[in-house]
Amino acid sequence: MEAFTVVESVLVPLDRANVDTDAIIPKQFLKTLSRQGLGQYLFYDWRYREQESHMVPNPGFILNQDPYRNGRILLTRENFGCGSSREHAPWALADYGIRAIVAPGFAEIFANNCVQNGILLVSLYEADVEGLFRKTAAMKGLSARIDLAEQILRTGDGQVYPFHMDPSVKHKLLHGLDDIQVTLQYQEDIRAYEAGRRLQMPWLFRET
Amino acid sequence: MAGQTLYDKLWMQHKVFAERDGRTLLYIDRHLLHEVTSPQAFSGLRNAGRKVWRRDANIATADHNVPTTDRSAGISDPTSRLQVETLDRNCADFGIEEFGMMDPRQGIVHVIAPEQGLTLPGMTVVCGDSHTATHGALGALAFGIGTTEVEHVLATQCLWARKSKSMRVWIDGELFPGVGAKDLVLAIIGRIGTAGGTGYAIEFSGPVVQNLSIEGRMTLCNMAIEAGARSGMVAVDDQTVEYLRDRPFAPDSVYWGRAVSAWRTLHSDDDAVFDRDVHLSGNQISPQVTWGTSPEMVTAIEGCVPDPKTAPDAVRRQAWENAQRYMDLTPGMPIMDIAVDRVFIGSCTNARIEDLREAARIARNGRKADSVRSVLVVPGSGLVKAQAEKEGLDEIFRQAGFEWREPGCSMCLAMNADRLEPGERCAATSNRNFEGRQGTGGRTHLVSPAMAAAAAIAGHFVDVRNWK
Ligand code: SF4
A70, A96 contact by CB (below 8 A): no
pLDDT-derived band of residue A207, with 50, 70 and 90 as boundaries?
A: low
Average confidence (pLDDT) over A151-171: 96
Residues in contact with ligand 1 (CB, 6 Å cut-off): B 63-64, 108, 110, 129, 131, 347-348, 409, 412-413, 430-431
* Backbone φ and ψ of A204, nearest 5°: -85, -5
Torsion of CA B322, B327, B331, B336, to 10 degrees: -160
Distance, CA B89 to ligand 1 centroid (Å)? 23
pLDDT at res. A3: 84
Q: With a cut of 90, say whether residue B266 has pLDDT above it.
A: yes
DSSP string, B428-462: E-SS---TTTTSTT-EEEE--HHHHHHHHHHSB--
Give the pairing of strands A48-51 and A6-13. unpaired
pLDDT at res. A206: 84
Q: With a cut of 80, say whether residue B1 has pLDDT above it.
A: no
Interface of A with B in 38-97 (CB under 8 A): 45, 50, 77-79, 82-87, 90
Out of A61-65, A93-97, A173-177, pick the least confident. A173-177
- Higher per-residue confidence, A50 vs B134: B134
| Shortest Cα distance, chain B CAs vs residue A150, angstroms | 20
Average confidence (pLDDT) over A31-36: 93
Percentage of chain A modeled with pLDDT above 90? 89
B276, B167 contact by CB (below 8 A): yes
Q: With a cut of 60, say whether residue B206 has pLDDT above it.
A: yes
How confident is the model over A113-160, as pLDDT tens digits? 999 999 999 999 999 999 999 999 999 899 999 999 999 999 999 999
Rounded to the nearest integer, the mean pLDDT of chain B is 96
Nearest residue on chain B to A21, alpha-carbon basis: B434
Among B15, B66, B156, most A C-beta atoms within 10 A, so best to mutate, is: B156
**Contact between A28 and B144 using a beta-carbon 8 Å cutoff:** no
pLDDT at res. B358: 97
**Contact between B228 and A82 using a beta-carbon 8 Å cutoff:** yes
| Shortest Cα distance, chain A CAs vs residue B129, angstroms | 5
Distance, CA A79 to ligand 1 centroid (Å)? 21
A113 touches B: beta carbon within 8 Å? yes
Dist. CA B344–CA B444, nearest whole Å: 10
A109 touches B: beta carbon within 8 Å? yes
Q: With a cut of 80, say whether residue A50 has pLDDT above it.
A: no
Beta strands in B173-261 (DSSP E): 200-205, 231-233
pLDDT-derived band of residue B369, with 50, 70 and 90 as boundaries?
A: very high
Tell me which chain B residues have a C-beta less than 8 angstroms from the C-beta of A83. 130, 225, 432, 434
**Contact between B146 and A189 using a beta-carbon 8 Å cutoff:** no
The set of residues, in sequence order, having a beta carbon less than 8 Å from that of B359 and lying 6+ positions away, is B345, B377, B397, B449, B450, B452, B453
Percentage of chain B modeled with pLDDT above 90? 97
Q: With a cut of 70, say whether residue B199 has pLDDT above it.
A: yes
pLDDT at res. A54: 80
Quick one: residue B107, left, alpha or beta (phi over 0 = left, psi -120 to 50 = alpha)?
A: left
Residue nearest (by alpha carbon) to ligand 1 atom 6: B409
Second CATH level (architecture) for the domain A6-177? Alpha-Beta Barrel (3.20)
| Shortest Cα distance, chain B CAs vs residue A160, angstroms | 24
pLDDT-derived band of residue A52, with 50, 70 and 90 as boundaries?
A: low
Distance, CA B408 to ligand 1 centroid (Å)? 8
pLDDT-derived band of residue B87, with 50, 70 and 90 as boundaries?
A: very high
DSSP string, B186-199: HHHHHHH-TTTTTT
Average confidence (pLDDT) over B263-268: 98
Dist. CA B268–CA B142, nearest whole Å: 17
Termini Cα distance of chain B: 54
B65, B87 contact by CB (below 8 A): no
Q: With a cut of 50, say whether residue B275 has pLDDT above it.
A: yes
Distance, CA A150 to ligand 1 centroid (Å)? 41
Tell me which chain B residues have a C-beta less than 8 angstroms from the C-beta of A28. 415
The set of residues, in sequence order, having a beta carbon less than 8 Å from that of B458 and lying 6+ positions away, is B369
pLDDT-derived band of residue B409, with 50, 70 and 90 as boundaries?
A: very high
B211, B247 contact by CB (below 8 A): no
Q: With a cut of 50, say whether residue A208 has pLDDT above it.
A: no
Among A21, A32, A33, most B C-beta atoms within 10 A, so best to mutate, is: A33
Q: With a cut of 80, say whether residue B142 has pLDDT above it.
A: yes
| Confidence (pTM) | 0.94
